[in-house]
Structure formats: structure tokens, C-alpha cells
A and B are shown apart, each in its own frame.
Chain A
Amino acid sequence: MKEQINKIKEQALKDISAVEEIKTLNDVKVKYLGKKGELTSVLRGMGSLLPEERPIIGSLVNEVREEIEQAIKAKEEKFQEMELQEKLEKETIDITLPGTKIKRGSKHPVNRVIEEIEDLFVSMGYDVVSGPELETDEFCFERLNLPKGHPARDMQDSFYITKEYLLRTQTSAVQARTMLANTEKTPIRMICAGKTYRREDDATHSHQFGQVEGLVIDKKERNVSLADLKGTLEIFVKKLIGKNCELRFRPSYFPFTEPSYEVDVSCFKCGGKGCSLCKQTGWIEVLGAGIVHPHVLEMNGYNPELYGGFAFGTGLDRLAMFKYAIPDMRYLYTNDIRFLSQFDRKDEE
């Protein structure tokens, strides 16, 4: 009987290794281990054995069964592994085909610059404020020390709707609004960006353009000197235009500040040597600024003997052009999709 069992074992192992697909493996399993399988029938024949032989043969049968089961299991795993490999093979795709284009929007370059400026000044404790674009002559001019007939109004040819209402020519209009609205007459630190309008339209001037305005009012002996203004604008310009650029304050004239300055930066294209961008001067004008005129303080409810302030403003369109090397102002307002969609990523820090 021992021999018979060993023979079955050998035959079974041989059969198992010969199996080529998982279906037939089951047949082999049934053939040897099933209820009517060969090994089972050996067990059934145990009755004819001597009592002392039974345990020996019994354990042998169990050993063999276990061995066959192991072999079948190993074979099964092998088949599963193959099947998985086949599945992976089948599922392999051309990973060089393009990914689904999830539409990515874009932020207009002028608004990008506005956000950058707002974030910078908010971090310095400024309030972000806004004012109407449809302004009154009073706030746009008169309260800024520009009475009717003032020659400086020529610098800002305006779009009037009525005698009194016009499209604001400058965000400075918000200065007067902010000062008046502050009924407690406490110190002010504000920044205001928005659209402005002037009656001119040529290659370098759009009749609609962006401006940003900053205003600081404080007790006269504190924080509001020309030196403070210089320091503040240095931070502004270095953040917006470049760490290495130099500033030049050039005395100028605005009716709402005294003294007044135009602020130039060293040309970031040629480094100050002179090029077409800076018209060979080495400098590019970027800001208007000054110490708030005492008449402006007075007209808007601040006592000029106690309070002082500084203000500054700049054109956003030009800043956007500088920042992104946009060669023509008109591109900003043409809104060509091929232009807009270029501004679809995060700004580098």
C-alpha cells in the first residue's frame, strides 16, 4: 500500500506540473483529492489493513495530501500571478498622449499688479479703499486744490457727463473722500487702485487706464516727512520693479501736494546706460508723489498746523507692461484670448 500511495503522489505531482491552465488544475485536484479521488479511495481501503498499520498509512496519506495541496496552491498562485501580469499588460496605454485639458483661467495683468500692490501695502498696515469712477468735479478737482480754471486741469483733459459729473481723471479723488469720511480725524494709511479716464487716445495713452493712489496722514511731526515718503516708495518700487533699481526724486508740480515729486527708476532694461525704453535718459518715470498740500488737508477737515501727510500715485498699465515685458499699452485692452491666456500661472516671488 505504501508503494501505491507513493505512486499516486508521484503521478499527482507530475500531473500538476503538466497543467497549463487553471481549469485543468481543478480537474487534477478533483482527480486526486476529490471525494472520489485516488487518494480518498486509498483511505477507504484502509479497513483491510492491520490495526497497527492504519496509523502509519493514515499519516502517510495525510502527508501526501498536504504535499499535493501545496503543489496545487503553488501552481494556482503562479496562474494568478500570470493572469495579473496579463491584465497589466493589456491595460498598458500610451502615456505620451496628452492629458485632459482642464480649462485654466487667467488673471488680467493689470489686476495682477493691483493685487500685488494691495498685498504689499496691507502688510504695512494700509487700508484698501475704493471710490466711485463716476466722480464729481468737487472731489476730482476742487477738494484737491484744483479750482475751476486752474491751468493744471489741462494736464487732465476730462470726460464730463454734466457740468458737475465726470469720469474721474485720477484716483486722487479718493484722497478727499477718505479724509472727509474719517470724521474722527485720526491718522490714515490707505491705498486705492482703480480705473481712471482722460480725454486722450494715442499709442502711449489709453483713454481708460489704471491708477493706484496711496495716502498717509498723521500728526505732523510723525511719519509723514519727505524722508518717510522716500523710504516707503523705495519698498514699493523695489518690490514691483526690481530689487536692484535705483530711485530718483525729481521735483515737480501737482496742485494737491507741496513739495511735489516725480519719481524715476533707473532703467531696468539697459541698467541706466540709455536705451529706447528710457528714451536714452537712463531713467523711467513711474510715480508722482509729494507732501499733502495744506489746502487739501484743510479743505478735507484736517488742521494743517497739526496734521501732515504724504501721497503718491502711479499708473498701473505701465507697471503691468514693465512687469511682464508687454510692448504695447493697447494689448491690455484688446483682450485677445491668446494674450489673456498667457497670464495663467502663479507669479514668481
Chain B
Amino acid sequence: MDERRYLSPALLASVVVIATSGLVYELIAGTMASYVLGDSVTQFSFVIGLYLFAMGLGSYASKHIERDLLQRFVEIELTIALVGGFSAPLLFTVYTSFGAFRAALYITVTLVGMLVGLEIPLLIRLLEYKLALKDLLARVLSLDYVGALFASLLFPLVLLPKLGIHNTSMLIGLLNALVALGATFLFPLEHGRGLRMRVQCVLVALGLVVGLVAFDRHALRGEATYFGAPIVYATQSSYQRLVITQTRHTTRLFLNGQLQFSSDDEHRYHETLVHPAVAALGHAPKHALVLGGGDGLAVRELLRYPELERVTLVDLDPAVTGVFRTVTLARTLNGGALDDPRVTVRNEDAFAYLEGCKDSFDLALVDFPDPGNYAVGKLYTLTFYQRLRQRLSTRGIAVVQTTSPYFARRSFWMAAETIAAADFAIHPMHVHVPSFGEWGFVLAGPPGFAPPTTLLVPEGGLRYLDERELAGLFRFPRDMERVSVGVNRLNDQQLVSIYTEEWDHWQR
């Protein structure tokens, strides 16, 4: 075969890789922009327009490159590999740390666009000696477009869902570096230059591999940020959207956009939820019921009592309990509490569970999301607390999460009054949780039971609570003092509207 009329498969593959990667960078930029800035139509329009324009600039600039075509081509490939490859992590870091996201975005897009614009003209010129121009253009440009199709299918269907945006970005960069390396073997070289170019290629490729591994280790595989922190896990269950974010020191769980806990200070919340109730009971529970609390953090606190016999945890959403059983970073937080042999997890509606339940419990921890809608609001009604009362032993203790007595004072006291109306004696508590603000619980038990004054966990076993703080939980300053609001009933659910109104006030 005539050497001049033949393009090797390796060369053809290189063209496809170049074309694919060019489009993937564009898609990465568009995706980042729409994640961070929202309004995806506008963001994609801007990014595509700017990118194509920059490619035009690059193509025009290619006429100024006259000598050492191969060396220039390899250098351009390597620059693309670096700038494009690190574009997603770079933009992400800019967004989370510096804030000049738009400027960084448009600079990156312009730079990558120009470099990609340079690629094809240079490649064509490198191949000039092999084929007639009409054949060359036909081959290269058609493969360029095939690569574009390839990229546009691969990116949304495989790369983004499987690898996440950061790894996609670096993987594609790696491919560019490999193309550069390949070029040093495919084209004739001046003697002595080959080694230096190849070393450069290998260094860039290594850099990208290190990047891939490092990002993997930090679990920053997330596709976007949420309230300013990278998402490490997100899923939509039948009931809610579950998002876990992680920064270097802090893990947070959001359900439908509402913060459920922050690993920084959840110990304050869960210690207050669990230990005063156990202290009021006077001994480690034999059979504890946890309603809600699918994150297993309250169970973790319960398991501190070695004499505890059984825990039944009822959480509606299998997605939540599933994540906190199987996903390492979530499981680390609860210490694998949900897989403890003493713990039974049931994914059911708590209301329905109590109706069908025959068991008796000596301790119940009730930790539902706030009553922001009527579906959750049912779990804050007189009927619900009456059912709960029926499932508790005579001396049984319950503790109920009852929103913030500061931000939603009337809601808090309405919940407290409703619990009291179900024949419980109550001792309301509050604690300061920095991520939440002042937060409230109601400790409920048999008529005449006294608030605890000592804790049953060994001294120093807790991070926040000690006997001095314990007494403080029950003292309400004047601006959170009891207000009389009434009882929340299933056929009325005034709590939902009061709660919504109170929180709207603070969010405005």
C-alpha cells in the first residue's frame, strides 16, 4: 500500500480522542455553570458560544505557528490535558474557596476553546504530506464530528453518572496526554527531541493520575455543591431528596433541603435527645423504640449503655437507613449502630406502626423532621401521642424532638401542650446546637416523674452533657418561656400553619 495514501488506525483514533475530549470539556464547563449558577439554558448557551468563538480564535492563530509543528502540537495537547483536565476541580475550588466563579469559568472556557481550536489545523498540517487535501479534510473533519457525537452521548449517559464531573474531567485530560505521547511515536522526529517530549507527556499524565487518586481519596466525587459544600451522596427516594455533603471536617445530611445534622455539633443534639431520657428512666432501657432517626446517631448514643437489650428503629424511608448502614462515610458517623445485633430496623410509617404494634417499650425517642407539612404534621398530633403512650410501659419515658423554642416558640409549646394532653407529665428541654440555633425537646413520662439530676453514662463519656449542663436544659429563659397555644389535633393541625408562619418570619 502506498504509504502516502494511508492513515494508521492509531492516527485515526487520536483524531477521535481529540474531538471527543474537546466537546467533553465544553460539556463539563456547561454542567459546572448550570450546577453552580442555575438556569441551565443560559449557562449552556453562554459556554457553547464562548467556546466556539474561542476555537475560532485558536484556528486563526494557528497560521502563526510555522516551525516545529509536532513539538507545538504536543505542547498544545499537554496544555489542554492540564487546563481541561483540571478544569472541573479548579472551577469547583474557585467556587468554594474564592468566589470569582464566573471569571474563572469564562477564562477556562476561552483558554481550552482556543487550544482546541489550534489542534485540528495543526493536525491537518502534520498530515499534509500523507494525503491530498480533499481526502485529508474529509477524513479528519468527519472523524472530528464523529468524536463530537461520541462525546455528547458518552458524557451524560456514562461519564457524568459513573465517574462524576471531577474524575471525568481528569480522565479526559489523561487521554489528551496519551494522544500527545502517541504523537511522538507516530510522526517522524528530529533526533534528540523525542525523549524530552516523551518525559513531558509522562509527567503530565502522572500529574493527572495523582489528581484522580487524590480526589478519590477525599471522596470529592460529587457532582455539585449544596449550601456551599460538595455533595458526596445524593438520592431521590419516594419520599424525599437525600443529600450528604462533606467538607474536610464536616459531614452534613439534608432531607428535602433541610439540614438534619452537621457532624460538627450533632453530639449536642443527640446527647440531649438520649441521655436525660435514660437518666429519667433510671436504668438502661430494656427495649427502646426510636421513631425517625434513620441516621442511627440516636441509636449510637443508646448503645453506650451496655445493659441495653433491644432497640427497634422505625424510619419511613429505606433510602435513609440504607445509606447509614452501607455508605462508609455515613456509617462511620454512627459507628455501624444500625447493624448492631440488638437493633431492628423497620421501614414503615411510624403512625401505622404504632397502630399495629403489640410490643411494649420502656423508652421512646421520637425524632421526626419538623412539622412543615401535613404529612409529617400527623406525627405531632394528640392521636399520635396517645398511641405512643399506649405502647410505653407504665414507668416508660419518651422524648420528642419539638423544633426550636426560640425561632418557633409557639410551635414548640403547642407540641409540648399536645404531648401533655396525651396523659404525659412533661419536662421541656432546650440546647444550643450551633448549626441549628436553640433547639428543643420534650421529655415525657408517667404522672409525677421528676426531671433527672444525674446521668447514667460514665463521667467523661460524653462530649457535651454533664450534670451541670443537665440542670440547664430544663431552665427556659424569658424569651423562650411557655406560651399557651392549644392542642394540635389530627383534624385541625394548626401546628403546621403556626410552624410555617414562625419560620417564614426568620427566613425573610
A and B part of one assembly? no
